[in-house]
């Protein structure tokens, strides 16, 4: 549980941006014609801020169900990239742990956990608890904020401009992740593509920017010879290299014995 507490503590500053984001989702849902119960139920089932807001807007515009579902799926395609990126660090988990981890996956939990996993070399069980500590603190905060927003409804003053908290939250995640020229290049290219592709329908600009950013990152990795995973499936960070060194030393010691 110490690892879970560490994950929650690291995520705590980000929650300040999640609260107004959740309030916006709850208020918007009620304004679109949902009851507070429906708004909360949707939040629990979907648990994806950007796609929730997009779906709520489409519900308010009485769009066909197929369009609403397709839009939400397209926006959430980025989680496929997140899952593929974080999977090597949680490779040996059982099915129940994987299902729970997939359900609570968010942009914030992904960024916080991946940064921790790359800097340290904890065991897989410790990684899981750290990730869950981060993800569940976000889940609880989001659900409470959405419920408060749904109950408050139109009582929240329009002049608060709560929507501005959304980009600020993502900027708070981005800036610490830019550590060198490599990550700066990926962030810059993704940002330019995201702005240029903002005119695409169904928020496809988000997916396009993410895909291009991944492609640039992979290309730079191949060029510099940096690979994220070793041959046995362990992450190839400093911890992975240390484990390989320890294993090699153990083998040499066994040969001498």
Beta-bridged to residue 235, according to DSSP, are 229
Q: Tell me how many domains the chain contains.
A: 1
CA distance 84 to 82: 6
Give the range among 111-115, 166-170, 223-227 with minimum mean pLDDT. 166-170
CA quadruple 189, 46, 22, 149: dihedral sign = positive
Q: Would you place residue 245 in the very low, low, confident or very high pLDDT band (cuts 50, 70, 90)?
A: very low
Q: Residue 245 falls within a domain, yes or no?
A: no
pLDDT digits (tens, 9 = 90+) for 127-166: 889 999 999 999 999 999 999 989 887 565 655 555 555 5
Residue with the bigger pLDDT between 250 and 21: it is 21
Element holding 25 (H helix, E strand) = helix 2-31
Burial pattern 198-226, b for ≥16 Cβ within 10 A else e, equals eeeebbbbbbbbbebbbebbeeeeeeeee
Q: Residue 91 falls within a domain, yes or no?
A: yes
Other residues' Cβ atoms within 10 Å of the Cβ of residue 193: 18
Residue with the bigger pLDDT between 22 and 204: it is 22
Q: Residue 211 falls within a domain, yes or no?
A: no
| Angle, in degrees to the nearest 10, between helices 181-196 and 165-177 | 150
Q: Residue 114 falls within a domain, yes or no?
A: yes
pLDDT digits (tens, 9 = 90+) for 56-83: 878 877 878 887 888 788 778 888 888 8
CA distance 150 to 26: 4
Alpha-carbon distance values, 9 to 126, 130, 134 (Å): 15, 10, 8
In this prediction, residue 56 carries a pLDDT of: 84
- Please calculate the CA angle 181-185-190 and round it to the nearest 5 degrees: 155
In this prediction, residue 38 carries a pLDDT of: 92
14 is in which domain, residue-wise?
1-157
Q: Residue 214 falls within a domain, yes or no?
A: no
Q: Residue 77 falls within a domain, yes or no?
A: yes
CA distance 36 to 149: 9
pLDDT digits (tens, 9 = 90+) for 158-187: 555 555 555 655 666 576 667 778 888 888
For residue 197, pLDDT over 60 is answered with yes
Q: Residue 182 falls within a domain, yes or no?
A: no
CA distance 255 to 247: 12
Q: Residue 123 falls within a domain, yes or no?
A: yes
Q: Is 72 left (phi over 0), alpha (psi -120 to 50) or beta?
A: alpha
Taking the complete model, does pTM exceed 0.75, yes or no? no
């Amino acid at each position: 549980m110490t690892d879970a507490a560490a994950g929650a503590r690291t995520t705590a500053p980000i929650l300040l941006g999640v609260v107004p984001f959740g309030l916006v989702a709850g208020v918007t849902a009620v304004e679109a014609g949902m009851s507070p119960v429906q708004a909360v139920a949707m939040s629990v089932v979907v648990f994806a801020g950007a796609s929730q807001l997009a779906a709520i807007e489409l519900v308010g515009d009485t769009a066909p169900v197929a369009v609403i579902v397709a839009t939400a799926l397209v926006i959430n395609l980025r989680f496929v990239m997140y899952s593929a990126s974080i999977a090597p660090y949680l490779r040996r988990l059982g099915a129940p742990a994987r299902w729970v981890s997939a359900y609570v996956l968010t942009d914030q939990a992904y960024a916080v956990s991946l940064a921790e996993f790359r800097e340290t070399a904890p065991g897989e069980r410790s990684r899981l608890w750290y990730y869950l500590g981060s993800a569940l603190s976000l889940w609880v905060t989001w659900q409470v904020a959405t419920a408060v927003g749904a109950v408050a409804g139109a009582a929240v003053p329009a002049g608060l401009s709560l929507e501005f908290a959304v980009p600020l939250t993502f900027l708070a995640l981005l800036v610490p992740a830019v550590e060198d020229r490599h990550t700066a290049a990926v962030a810059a290219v993704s940002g330019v593509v995201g702005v240029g592709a903002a005119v695409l329908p169904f928020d496809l600009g988000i997916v396009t920017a993410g895909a291009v950013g991944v492609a640039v990152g992979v290309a730079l990795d191949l060029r510099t010879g940096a690979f994220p995973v070793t041959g046995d499936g362990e992450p190839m960070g400093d911890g992975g290299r240390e484990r390989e060194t320890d294993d090699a030393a153990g083998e040499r010691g066994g040969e001498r014995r």
